[in-house]
Amino acid sequence: MKKERPAVATTPYWLRKEAKEATEMLRGKIVDKVWRHRPKEIGIQFTDGSRLFVDMETDGLELSITDQYCPVKN
């Protein structure tokens, strides 16, 4: 039976799994820009256009990685 992924990783299993997946998805990428448009969020855009968002939620951090290109204005 496959475990259902929670919105926010809170158990050791999901924390390790999320960290491993993020490591693989981000390996070799070069940071282009970092921005903060909300107090509880950081955005990182890479030179290939992919982006990583880290959001603070009530029960932990939410990671979101996208490969959609959307330029960040300075």
Residues 12, 2: Cα–Cα separation, whole Å: 17
pLDDT at 44: 95
pLDDT band at 3 (very low <50, low <70, confident <90, very high): confident
Element (H, E) at 42: strand 41-46
Q: Is residue 1 part of a domain?
A: no
Q: Is residue 36 part of a domain?
A: yes
Beta bridge partners of residue 53, listed in sequence order:
43, 64
Structural domain span for residue 16 = 12-66
Q: Is residue 47 part of a domain?
A: yes
Give the count of domains, the chain.
1
Element (H, E) at 55: strand 51-57
Q: Is residue 22 part of a domain?
A: yes
Residue 34 has pLDDT above 90, yes or no: yes
| pTM of the predicted model as reported, rounded to 2 decimal places | 0.75
Stretch 46-73: mean pLDDT:
83
Average pLDDT of the chain is: 86
